[in-house]
Amino acid sequence: MTLNKFNLPDVGEGLTEAEIVAWKVKPGDTVAINDVLCEIETAKSLVELPSPFAGTVTELLVPEGVTIDVGTAIISVSDAVSGDPTPADVPAPETPVQPLYGKLPADDGGTSGSALAGGPLVGSGPKADAVKRRPRKAAPAAQAGSAPVPAISASSITENPVVEPVETQTSSTSGMVDNRPTLGGTITGLVNRVLAKPPVRKIARDLGIDLADVVATGSRGEVTREDLVSYQSQRDAELDQAEGFWGKAGKPQDQRIERIPVKGVRKATAKAMVESAFSAPHVSIFVDVDASRTMEFVKRLKASRDFEGIKVSPLLILAKAVIWAAARNPSVNATWVDNVDGTDAAEIQVKHYMNLGIAAATPRGLMVPNIKDAQDLSLKELALALNNLATTARAGKTQPAEMQGGTLTITNIGALGIDTGTPIINPGEVAIVAFGTIKQKPWVLDGEVIPRWITTLGGSFDHRVVDGDLSARFMADVAAILEEPALLLD
């Protein structure tokens, strides 16, 4: 039998670390090559890791919620699939035993399996003791006034190990001894224990909740996620009534500070923006645009049979306008490169292809996936690509490869009702366009003030590559398409 260990791979260029978000397997599971083992969060995306081995999972080496470096071993898989004693293969004695805690949890479906406080992983190692264990006699009748302890079979003990009991309180009553059978024998003292799965314990720790204070509603007496949500909601309501957002006036200020760890998407975004802001000299320009004809064009596209079932918005026309304008002003679709060939020399690399980045605000943070070779797409194909990009990003399923190699970016701040802004250039690029909200405003047309659909475009450029004249011409070309989409037919 060979024991294979799977190390965290580099799923994207330059990945140095990732967080284990959720395990999809547990010790004892049989896996085939390419079966999903777990989900990891890289600097920008949620990625499913497939198994490079076939066999039986013997141990999960990293708990959920832990950030580790690339190359760290995360799971061990034995190549012996059949014949090994797994939880499903181990017979259980027919005589039921009674656990100390009264109830045991239901099977977690493989959603956990991590060890806490450095202890051994639940379910790992040999299961022979489950077979050797001698059936225990039923416990004596409970003392008057105490709740009866329900019986449960030994198979449940070995096959459902994922809810970890933690001692929370020991009775100080002297002279009272609990003689009920336990999983490891008899102990002295009445012990109250709280049952909860490792992910639930992690959430409780993050929220600062004592599990002993939470009313458990799980099928076997365990605290569930829903119990935590209910408890937290009640606690928040009490806090709002008692103190409000600003906290109790009498508390010292150092006790009224909320500390949020910087990791994952936020950590990567912060690093990239600082590098961009302090390495590329930004220059920003703005232009007001009459987008009334763009609005009419979008309305016609929505009614067209060719675009039936496809979401169409003014962003589609802007994307096409940016591609068109970049072809007329190629230096905006470029990269500044320092230390060429290991020397102090620098060069400008103009890209004769457009990987159009679209900044997307998601529940996981800001992501900038890009549409590869956007210059080759028809209007309909570009609409489909934008829809797919947005759907994938919101679901947190954007892959690292989809966020690499961008050449120029659009950020649609108008979707949030913002008129304009000064966006920071995405690292590795030299230009970004901010698309403001489109709303009716008074506009002078042919000497008359009439209501028109107006938007404001904001562009930021790396002044090492794009000077004032080039940036102005590029923004004017983008504005021209929004004012007259028919120019795209030229």
**Per-residue confidence (pLDDT) for residue 131, from 0 to 100:** 40
Segments in 84-175 forming alpha helices (H): 128-132, 154-159
463-475 tens-digit pLDDT: 999 988 999 999 9
Residues annotated catalytic, as ranges: 463
pTM of the model: 0.55
Q: Report, as an integer, the average pLDDT of 49-55.
A: 90
Q: Which domains does the chain have, with CATH numbers?
A: 265-489 (3.30.559.10)
Q: Which residues make beta-bridge pairs with 359? A: 411
Q: Looking at the predicted structure, is the pLDDT value of residue 102 above 50?
A: no
Judged against a pLDDT cut of 80, whether residue 476 lies above it is answered with yes
pLDDT at 164 exceeding the cut of 50: no
Contact status, residue 398 vs residue 325, Cβ threshold 8 Å: no
Distance CA(16)–CA(72), nearest Å, equals 11
First to last CA, the chain: 68
Let me know: does 26 contact 37? Beta carbons within 8 Å.
no
Better-scored residue on pLDDT, 98 or 481? 481
Task: At 276, list the tokens.
Answer: 């961009």
Most confident of the ranges 47-56, 77-86, 230-239, 444-453: 444-453
- Band of residue 182 on the pLDDT scale cut at 50, 70, 90: very low
| Helix (H) or strand (E) segment spanning residue 49 | strand 46-50
Span 3-13, pLDDT tens digits: 888 998 887 65
Query: pLDDT for 108-139, tens place per residue?
Result: 444 443 333 333 333 333 333 444 444 444 44
Among 41-45, 69-73, 238-242, 458-462, which is the least confidently predicted range?
A: 238-242
CA dist., res. 186 & res. 95, Å (int): 18
Top-confidence residue, 345 or 329 = 329
Question: DSSP secondary structure string, 239-280?
Answer: HHHHT-TT--TTS-GGGS-------HHHHHHHHHHHHHHHHS
| CA distance linking residue 416 with residue 161, whole number of Å | 47
Q: What's the pLDDT score for residue 112?
A: 40
The stretch 384-388 carries a mean pLDDT of 95
Query: What's the whole-number average pLDDT of the chain?
Result: 76
pLDDT, residue 192, reads 52
CA distances from 57 to 11, 25, 28, 77 (A): 22, 8, 5, 4
Tokens 């892959």 sit on residue: 399
